Amino acid sequence: MQLLQALRVLGIEPLTALACVCFALGLWLLLPSTTARGKAFGLIFTTISLGLFATNLHLLSDWVSDAVFYVMASVTLVSAVGAVTMRSPVYCAIWFALTLLGTAGLFFFQGAQFLGVATVVVYAGAILVTMLFVLMLCNPEGHSLYDRVSWEAGISAGTGALLVFLLTWTTATTVFVDNTAFTDKTPAKDSKEPAPIVLTATAEQQNKNILAPRHVEKLGGELFSKYLIGVETAGTLLLVALVGAVAIIAHGKHAEAQAAAVRTSDGMTSGLNEEGRRNA
């Protein structure tokens, strides 16, 4: 009971703390490990923690938006856990595609139509397909050793849970969902409390600006006026990345051929095999 009270004083929801603990446990059990210990328990713990995090969510204006939001959020998070914990990298990529679709749905839900479409096209359409291509070129058959073990799963999951705990705690103590925050009273100058973040835009303003029916038109206008230099820089960056990728591959091929030539001539004379040279 004293622990609960101490948590309350700090502004920590006990359910959130419990959710973080379950999150760490679940991820630790789910991550690939040497022994097939408790995958089912990991699944249960992760589900419990996501459910407990869902108690932190707030209700939106009507039940339809609630339903859509919950479906999108759960698809995103469940498939994110799947993408990180699957042993086969191909399954990881497919779960990640589902995460991307979920995020695109969340973007649409916020009224960011262009970003939703761009996420599907650029991420799911281009990046993920390239990734699968490289997997096809690189991946040996079956589950390789390094897919079946992970570094320090316990410590990493604990760190992750600590991070998510700090983030939710900060959000809960700085972003007020207090009704008094919406009145036009200004907080006293000399009070020690942090000033609540107050919404300034009215619904009418939003409908004219970010939620305007002609969303893409407005977005493009903004992008090519206020952020024009950024667009030019991004274009340059894309060009540089393209040249860089080609250079890396071309140079790698060249260096590899040279190394192979040296290896064969070396192998005759010194008898040092490749493994020995790498360990040296």
224 touches another protein (CB under 8 A): no
- 209: amino acid identity, one letter: N
The reply on whether position 76 binds another protein by CB under 8 A is: yes
Applying CB under 8 A, the span of 5-13, 37-45, 69-77, 186-194 interacting with another protein comes to 69-77
Asked if 48 interacts with another protein (CB under 8 A), we say no
Is there binding between residue 240 and another protein (CB under 8 A)?
Answer: yes
**CA nearest 95: which of 72, 67, 76?**
76
Cα–Cα distance for residue pair 269/24, rounded to 1 Å: 54
Interface characters, 258-277, with another protein (x: CB under 8 A): --------------------
Please name which of 273, 64, 13, 37 lies closest in space to residue 168, comparing C-alpha atoms. 13
125 binds another protein (CB under 8 A): no
Q: Of these, 67, 71, 195, 241, which contacts another protein (CB under 8 A)?
A: 241
One residue of 43, 44, 48, 139 binding another protein per CB under 8 A: 139
Alpha-carbon distance of 234 to 231, in angstroms, equals 5
Which of 53, 101, 120, 124 contacts another protein by CB under 8 A? Answer: 53
Q: Please, which residue, 7 or 223, has the CB nearer to another protein?
A: 223
Cα dihedral 181/183/184/185 (nearest 10): -70
Interface pick for another protein out of 144, 258, 270, 273 (rule CB under 8 A): 144
Read off the tokens for 70: 């919950």
Instruction: Provide Rg for the chain, Cα atoms.
Output: 26
Nearer to another protein, 206 or 270 (CB): 206
| Footprint on residues 200-219 left by another protein (CB under 8 A) | 200-203, 205-206, 209-211, 218-219
Interior angle at CA 252, CA 247 and CA 255, nearest 5: 125
DSSP state of 20: H
Distance CA 60, CA 69 (A): 9
| 203: its two tokens | 């619904």
- 156-195 residues near another protein, rule: CB under 8 A: 156-157, 159-161, 163-164, 167-168, 171, 175-177, 179, 182
List binders of another protein among 6-25 (CB under 8 A). 23
